A and B are shown apart, each in its own frame.
Chain A
Amino acid sequence: MVEPIKLTTRDQRKQLIEAASYNPFLLRAEDVIIDLLTDSGTSAMSSDAWGALMRGDESYAGARSWYRFRDTVNDIFGFEQVIPTHQGRAAEHILFGVMVQPDSIVPNNTHFDTTRANIEFFGGNAMDLPCRESRDLGSEFPFKGNMDIAALEKLVASEGAEHIPIIMVTVTNNSGGGQPVSMANIREISRIARSAGIPFYIDACRFAENSHFIRRHEPGFENTAAIDIAREMFSYADGCTMSAKKDSFANIGGFLCTNDAELAQRERNILILTEGFPTYGGLAGRDLEVIAVGLREVLDEHYLDYRLLSTRYVVEHLRESGIPVVIPAGGHAVYLDARRFLPHLEPLQYPGQSLVVELYIEAGIRSVEIGTVMFGADPHTGEERPARLDLVRLAIPRRVYTQSHMDYVLEGINLVWERRSDIRGMHIVQAPQFLRHFTAKFDWVRDETESRYKTSMEEA
């Protein structure tokens, strides 16, 4: 099945992005040529999944589709309690609602936007402990998603289970460039968590991609099937949150797992209030079916090979052109390093946002800033501070775009690269308190330095 793409001209795109206050989240999808905003919920479903969609049992309680879904999740993830939610952030909201107190600290390799926002919403402190290798953007270390074990040990020793209600690790590490976490690292986190009596949760959004990285790069796993690697990963954890909109090809859905029956009961009490009854959790029966099929498909070795290689294709071509990009290639996205791409801009001029806007104007490509716009506002003081990195993420929807689409994207990025020194910074005109990047409004920086960075826009 195909979906036609509407083409736009450069002049149209300039007007459209201005009308969208220079925020790609506010663009209409039909005005986008190649939509790399996210790999979340944007996958192409298989014919099997469409077939399963047709047999969705829409009964409110105890639907057949629920049992199919639950049994599949049990089989792969191995947790006793499965709680469906309408998407991943709802699973996070419920988990942190029961676990996080004001002043709690929740360490993670790197928290993603909704995870961080949910922890902060409950007054907790979301702490990133990425491994040292991840700070070296030029390093080829294969597991840059790892957590810094020494830092975690130190934190646990000083704060203890009293202030750390939960330790999380995100596989793959989305905010850190889609980099995988090794099995060895997961074992270490688990050991520390268990000896301190702290529950260990995996943010499992891209668990299949992470499993395949382990198979390809971690000694001892060369001949282990992705499903067995996944099962081993989850065996070290006490629970997980999952957005089924990533590694199960669904357009909607998520779930929360735990082995703690008493905790699950408290979580279900909240679930009923904000999501839905425990056997559908705010999802249509057909969506539960689709997830059950997708979780099987995503663990197919040939699919995972294709997935990781097609992402690497883009990264390798960018490197050849000398464009600063996070290496090694991650699983689901290509991350441009906006600070090196636009070295003449300060982090507080939001170089990532400028680059996102220029990519749209140049070629109709929609991408997202992962940097100071997303993470720059201190939740407690409101103070504006540079994020650790300023990246532009080109997320690749699963099974949607072809190699020729990627060639078009590469060409677009190259054209922006050629005129990079003319690109100006941006400022925030208006932004909400939580998750501001979704709805914030921007404009170009207009100050005395403007003439130095006169853009091609105004010349045109």
Chain B
Amino acid sequence: MNTQVANKHTWAEPFKIKMVELLRMTTREQRVEAIQEAGYNTFLTRSRDVYIDLLTDSGTAAMSDRQWAGLMLGDEAYAGSENFYHLETVVRQFYGYKYLVPTHQGRGAENLMSQLLIKPGDHIPGNMYFTTTRLHQELAGGTFVDVIVDEAHDPESLFPFKGNVDLDKLDRLVREVGARRVPYLSLEGNVNMAGGQPFSMTNLKDLYSYCGKHDIPIMLDATRTIENAWFIREREDGYADVSISTILREICDLTDGCTMSAKKDALVNIGGFFACNDEELYAKAQNLAVVYEGLHTYGGLAGRDMEAMAQGIREAISEEHQSARVGQVRYLGEKLESAGIPIVKPIGSHAICIDAKRFLPHVDQDDYPAQALAAELYIESGIRSMERGNVSAGRDPKTGKNRRPALELVRLTIPRRVYTQAHMDVVAESVIDVHKRRDDIRGLKMVHEPEYLRFFQARFEPIIWRTP
């Protein structure tokens, strides 16, 4: 394994367990019943029926004792809470943006930014879509245009920076629609839908100079940018000895603002923010926040949650934390890989993504192989994972057809500081067991399809297998 902090080869956590949450064991029969009731959608299962919950790393982190202490310091005044000023100081210190508007979570910030910056008919280039981000852009009248490098869509490519933007694709768009119809470039760190893949600093510097020339702001989705910084340090020339806090700051300095879901990097259960350097945009964001979120000094968050976020950012920026974080994910990934399970590579920071197309080659993409595999994994051992493929991608608004994305993935998302190595062993074992009986796994048909973000609430039924 390459660069680890202080040349250590183990990745033992820089913390010990102080509070535990008991898990309930279920039988296979109970799980079969539970997944049927949930319409074969893991989002609709109850957490009490789940053994190891890898649905998401969003809001599921274990807070530290210091964060819990921060909760007790909540200043719940409606206006001007001390916790807001603390958070503002911390965001300025580590992310470097001048102005901060807290929001109740990341999509609250995306909603504000999309409404403030996008005009109907605009095109928003981005390094791969994210479900809520794209929908906010579309509802504001914009069209999302994917400008990520081609390698990102190839689960087998070992390219180290599959989160990079392809400047040719970006330039083609700008020439086609004109820079004036491109309100900003949406740049995500550790691209979630690509399996947690980072962009490189070199790529960002190129973007900075290109966008500067065309007067296009770069708005960062900062959700997992600290983890992105870790990969830059690990993989990019010249950064091996640079602290991740310096790298984070360098990233932010090359961008104009960000939306943030603090439920990921920042180790909290709720919270997010919008940040920027432009005073006028900030004033508008404050006013719109009042309509949707809450007064701009609490943004729909309890004071205690802002305090926990401020402390969480400090902890997230530590090298030891990120080393253990990435180490744990890599441990699971390497275990699966050595058993011949097809996964997205290189291994990302927050999740292992199983390539369902290769896992279930006999299931057509319109029979939702990833959704079916997630259901099977739950039945096998009570592990809850998430489909990130044809169901999540939704329908093309123009053709009305399934988008059939290149990546058809089951995401095993690892919550921060929650599960142990032994839990990861259970996960690996279960995936391997399902893999052994993969030929018996059938696809699903969708029987209920919501209008927006269908993956959250869609319901499915097994396809009856007809023997020819």
Q: Are A93 and B292 CB-contacts (below 8 A) given A86-B104, A276-B105?
A: yes
Q: In whole angstroms, what is the CA distance A121 to B457 when docked?
A: 28
Interface residues of A in 8-37 (CB under 8 A from B): 24-32, 35, 37
For A43-82 the 0/1 string (1 means CB < 8 A from B) is: 1000000000100111111111001000000000000000
Among A206-214, A267-275, A345-353, the one that faces the other chain is A267-275
Q: A40 CA to B300 CA in the complex, in Å?
A: 12
Contact of B104 among A35, A38, A282, A432 (CB under 8 A): A282
The answer to whether B43 and A61 touch across the interface, beta carbons within 8 angstroms, is yes
Contact of A41 with B by CB under 8 A: yes
Within 8 A of B (CB), among A421-438: 432-435, 438
Q: Is B80 an interface residue (CB 8 A)?
A: yes
B111–A433 contact, CB under 8 A? no
The range of chain A's interface size is 35 or more
- Determine, out of A170-178, A183-191, A284-292, the stretch whose residues face the partner at the interface: A284-292
Closest partner residue, chain A, to B299 (CB atom): A86
Query: In the complex, which residues of chain A have a beta carbon less than 8 angstroms from the beta carbon of B105?
Result: 86, 276, 282
The reply on B174 being an interface residue by CB < 8 A is no
Query: Does residue A277 face the partner (Cβ distance < 8 Å to B)?
Result: yes
Residue of A37, A62, A274 with highest tally of chain B CB at under 10 A: A62
In the bound complex, do residue A273 and residue B291 qualify as a contact, i.e. CB atoms below 8 Å apart?
no
Tell me, in angstroms, the Cα distance from A433 to B287 when the chains sit together: 8
A144 interfacial contact with B, CB 8 Å: no
A282 near B108 with CB under 8 A, answer yes
| Docked CA distance A43–B295 (Å) | 17
Separation of A429 and B453 alpha carbons in the complex (Å): 43
| Chain B residues within an 8 Å CB radius of A67 | 46
Complex-state Cα separation, A409 to B233, whole angstroms: 57
B398 at the interface (CB under 8 A from A): no
Instruction: Judge whether A41 and B76 touch: CB under 8 Å.
Output: yes
Of chain B, the residue at the smallest CB distance from A31 is B80
**Across the interface, do A434 and B290 meet the contact criterion of CB distance under 8 Å?**
yes
Whether B139 lies near A273 (C-beta < 8 A) is yes
A59 touches B53 (CB 8 A): yes
Contact yes or no, B107 A60, CB < 8 A? no
Q: CB < 8 Å: which of A24, A61, A268 contacts B44?
A: A61
Please tell me which one of the listed residues B42, B79, B453 contacts residue A26 in the complex, with CB atoms under 8 A apart. Answer: B79
Query: What residues of chain A lie closer than 8 Å to B292, measured between beta carbons?
Result: 89-90, 93, 274
Query: In the assembly, what is the distance between CA of A90 and CA of B111, in Å?
Result: 13
User: Considering the chains assembled together, what is the distance between the CA atoms of A57 and B74 in angstroms?
Assistant: 20
Known: A93-B292, A282-B105. A58 touches B305 (CB 8 A): no
State in angstroms the CA–CA spacing of A117 and B291 once bound together.
8
* Interface residue A414 (Cβ < 8 Å from any Cβ of B): no
Distance between Cα atoms of A86 and B45 in the complex (Å): 22
B452 at the A interface (CB under 8 A): yes
Closest to A254 in B: B300
Check if B301 sits within 8 Å of A252, measured CB to CB. yes
Partner of B291, one of A29, A37, A434: A434
For the complex, is B269 an interface residue (Cβ under 8 Å from A)?
yes
Using an 8 Å CB-CB cutoff, how does the interface string of B28-56 with A read, 1 for contact, 0 for none?
Answer: 00000000000000111111111001011
Q: How far is the CA of A41 from the CA of B79 in the complex (A)?
A: 11
Interface-centre pick from A31, A265, A284, A438 (highest chain B CB count, 10 A): A284
Alpha-carbon separation in the docked complex, A283 to B457 (Å): 18
What residues of chain B lie closer than 8 Å to A285, measured between beta carbons?
269
**Quick check: is B317 within 8 A (CB to CB) of the other chain?**
no
Could you mark each residue 123-166 of chain A with 1 if its beta carbon is under 8 Å from any beta carbon of chain B, else 0? 00000000000000000000000000000000000000000000
Indicate which residue in A53, A64, A93, A439 contacts B287 across the interface (CB closer than 8 Å). Answer: A439
Q: Which residues of B contact A117 (CB under 8 A)?
A: 291
Do B45 and A287 touch (CB < 8 A)?
no
- Whether the pair B55, A251 counts as a contact (CB closer than 8 A) is no
B:298-345 near A, CB below 8 Å: 298, 300-305
Distance A90 CA – B107 CA, assembled complex (angstroms): 13
* Known interface pairs A30-B82, A62-B45; A287-B270 also in contact (CB < 8 Å): yes
Are B75 and A30 in contact, CB atoms less than 8 angstroms apart? Answer: yes
Q: Are A28 and B82 in contact (CB under 8 A)?
A: yes
Digitize A208-235: 1 where CB-to-B-CB distance is under 8 Å, 0 elsewhere.
Answer: 0000000000000000000000000000
The 8 Å CB contact of A37, one of B74, B78, B300, B301, is B78
A277 touches which of B85, B135, B295, B456 (Cβ 8 Å): B456
A42 interface residue (CB < 8 Å to B): yes
Check A42–B76 contact: CB distance below 8 A: yes
**A438 contacts B290, C-beta separation under 8 Å:** yes
Residues from 71 to 115 in A contacting B, C-beta threshold 8 Å? 86-87, 89-90, 93
Query: Which B394-453 residues have C-beta < 8 A from chain A?
Result: 450-453
Residues of B within 8 Å of A86, CB to CB, are 104-105, 108, 293-294, 300
Residues of A contacting B: mostly: loop
Please report whether the interface of chain B is mostly helix, strand, loop or mixed according to DSSP: loop
Task: Decide: A38 near B59, CB < 8 A? Known: A57-B47, A269-B450.
Answer: no
- Decide yes or no: A275 and B104 within 8 Å by CB, A29-B75, A29-B81, A56-B269 being known contacts: yes
Q: Are B55 and A282 in contact (CB under 8 A)?
A: no
Q: Please report the C-alpha to C-alpha distance between residue A43 and residue B58 in the assembled complex, in whole angstroms.
A: 28
| Interface flag for A118 (CB, 8 Å) | yes
Flag if A284 contacts B107 (CB, 8 Å).
Answer: no
Q: Which residues of A contact B85 (CB under 8 A)?
A: 28
In the complex, B192 has a CB within 8 A of chain A: no
Q: B174 → chain A, closest Cβ, in Å?
A: 28
User: Does B135 lie within 8 Å of A273, measured CB to CB?
Assistant: yes
**Given A252-B305, A265-B450, are A28 and B80 also a contact pair (CB < 8 Å)?**
yes
Decide if A371 is an interface residue (CB 8 Å cutoff).
Answer: no
Contact of A252 among B75, B80, B300, B450 (CB under 8 A): B300
Complex Cα distance, B129 from A240, in Å, reads 36
A278 within 8 A of B: yes
Do residues B457 and A278 form an inter-chain contact, with CB atoms below 8 A? Answer: yes
> In angstroms, how far is the closest chain B Cβ from the Cβ of A131?
29
Task: Say yes or no for B60: interface residue by CB 8 A criterion.
Answer: yes
Chain B stretch 64-112: residues in CB contact (< 8 A) with chain A: 71-72, 74-82, 85, 104-105, 107-108, 111
Contacts known (A27-B80, A41-B302, A251-B304); A62 close to B46, Cβ less than 8 A? yes
Contacts of A435 in B (CB 8 A): 287, 290-291
Residue with the greatest number of chain A CB neighbours at <10 A, chosen from B80, B139, B453 = B80
- Given A282-B108, A284-B269: A37 and B60 interface contact (C-beta under 8 Å): no
Given contacts A29-B81, A251-B74, A278-B457, contact A60 B104 (CB under 8 A): no
Decide if B296 is an interface residue (CB 8 Å cutoff). Answer: yes
Residue in A58, A252, A270 whose beta carbon sits within 8 Å of that of B60 in the complex = A58
| Interfacial chain A residues near B107, Cβ < 8 Å | 273-276
Q: Which chain A positions have C-beta within 8 A of B74?
A: 251
Q: Is residue B3 contacting chain A, with contact meaning CB distance below 8 A?
A: no
Asked if B45 contacts A61 (CB within 8 A), the reply is yes
Chain A residues positioned under 8 Å from B294 (CB to CB): 86-87, 89
B287/A29 in contact, CB under 8 A: no
Decide if B47 touches A64 in the complex (CB within 8 Å): yes
Cβ contact within 8 Å between B270 and A59: no
Contacts of B301 in A (CB 8 A): 252
| Nearest 10 pairs of A and B residues by beta carbon | A29-B77, A59-B47, A62-B46, A86-B104, A251-B302, A284-B270, A28-B80, A432-B287, A252-B302, A284-B269
Q: List 21 A-B contacts (CB under 8 A).
A: A1-B72, A29-B77, A32-B77, A42-B77, A43-B76, A58-B269, A59-B55, A60-B55, A60-B59, A62-B46, A64-B46, A89-B291, A89-B294, A117-B291, A121-B291, A275-B107, A276-B105, A282-B270, A284-B305, A287-B302, A439-B286
18 more A-B contacts (CB under 8 A) besides A32-B80, A252-B302, A435-B291?
A: A25-B78, A29-B80, A30-B82, A37-B77, A41-B302, A56-B269, A62-B44, A86-B104, A86-B108, A268-B457, A269-B451, A273-B111, A273-B452, A275-B108, A277-B456, A282-B108, A366-B79, A435-B290
- B residues contacting A by CB (< 8 A) are 21, 42-50, 53, 55-56, 58-60, 71-72, 74-82, 85, 104-105, 107-108, 111, 132, 135-136, 139, 269-270, 286-287, 290-296, 298, 300-305, 450-453, 456-457
